[in-house]
Structure 1
Amino acid sequence: MSIRANQFRFQIAERSTGSRTGLSLLRWALVIIFLWFGAMKFTHYEAAGISPFIVNSPLMEWLNSLFGVQGASDVVGLLELSTAVALTIGSIQPLFSALGAAMSAATYLITLTFMLSTPGVAEATAGGFPAISALPGQFLLKDVVLLAASLSLLLGSIQASRADAQQ
């Protein structure tokens, strides 16, 4: 059994089969979100706002230990701005189309784990889980849609090569 280096061919998601307009709308909506949220991470307000998610996350708690509250927020901000840049370049460069979409999907996979680790997600007065609070529960739940948008772009950006598809 051999593994081929060219198992996948990268393309700009909007040039894949299907509606170009839909994928383009997803790309630019994600760019706006990552630019806005990423820039906000450099403010004290946002650093304090995301700190409860980070300190309670087994995946991200090390950021606060290593960089402090503002430093952890700055790192997240840099990653979010980098995702926006990759998505933007991805509108003209196939590899960046896949890279930006993968970075976006990873972001939302991580934030959805906060549903399990952040106190206050389940609303006790409504009977507990699956009843979720407005904050932070419903705030986090919207990331399901953003993950779906990211995965749609990623799937549109990666296509199996013709040689592999014929086997």
Structure 2
Amino acid sequence: MKNLITLLANMQPQWINFTRFAIFTVMVWIGGLKAFQYEADGIVPFVANSPLMSFFYSKDAPEYKAYKNPEGKTVQKHIDWHKENGTYIFSYGLGTVIVIIGLLTLLGIWSAKIGLIGGLLTFGMSLVTLSFLITTPEVYVPNLGGDFPTPQYGFPYLSGAGRLVLKDIIMMGAGLVVASESAKTIKARQGKL
């Protein structure tokens, strides 16, 4: 056990770089998927209900509910609605921003200043994502009726979308860890000047 504790303590810089790589992987994968129709359709409830982002769409919430495409299926009428709404253009832009944040975070391995920016942007993006827990009705289990004596819907019962959003608190913490490590490196270099 003592050897494991020593190993983990001595490898902290490598674990922080692993965290940068983990952020990069998630951001590039998720950001890259924003170029695909099913992913662009999937973020509509979050964006449409967000006071920070709803202006990117031309249609108001909750009109999108009538135009949902289940994953793996497309209905041309729904695709046309999403094109008119600006769903795909917004998703392409958002995906590009997410990929750039991932790259900036990864570059923190070699550049503390770039890594600081990437870590802070990761934190900020996660903060916006977590705001969906307040603004998006779809993050909680809806009342579908049923015979169970205790209602299990609404807050705090997270839906699949809600569980996915809540995980961003880990990304928020990781962003702060890599940003603080970059800040520490910058401060140490300034002290040597």
Aligned length: 147
- Structure 1 segments, 4+ long, off by >4 Å, are none
- CA deviations 1:75-113 (Å, max 9, x no partner) are 110101111221222211111010111111111110000
- CA deviations 1:11-68 (Å, max 9, x no partner) are xxxxxx9811221111000100111111110111110011111011111112223971
Corresponding residue to 1:141 among 155, 166, 174: 166
Aligned to 2:55: 62
- State the 1:122 CA deviation: 2.6
- State the 1:161 CA deviation: 4.3
Q: Does residue 47 of the first structure (1) align with residue 40 of the second (2)?
A: yes
RCO higher in structure (CA 8 A, sep ≥6): 1
Q: Does residue 156 of the first structure (1) align with residue 181 of the second (2)?
A: yes
Summarize the Cα distance change of 1:19–1:50 in structure 2 as closer, same or farther, 3 Å threshold. Answer: same
TM score, norm. by length of structure 2: 0.69
Aligned to 2:147: none
Unaligned runs of 5+ in 1: 1-16
TM score, norm. by length of structure 1: 0.79
Cα distance in 2 for residues equivalent to 1:27 and 1:138:
23
Moved more, 142-151 or 122-131: 122-131
Contact 1:64 1:71 in 2 (8 A): no
Report the aligned-residue RMSD: 2.4
Aligned to 1:21: 14
Contact 1:30 1:84 in 2 (8 A): yes
Within-5 A mapping of 1:88-103:
88-103=106-121
Aligned to 1:114: 132
Of structures 1 and 2, the larger Rg is shown by: 2
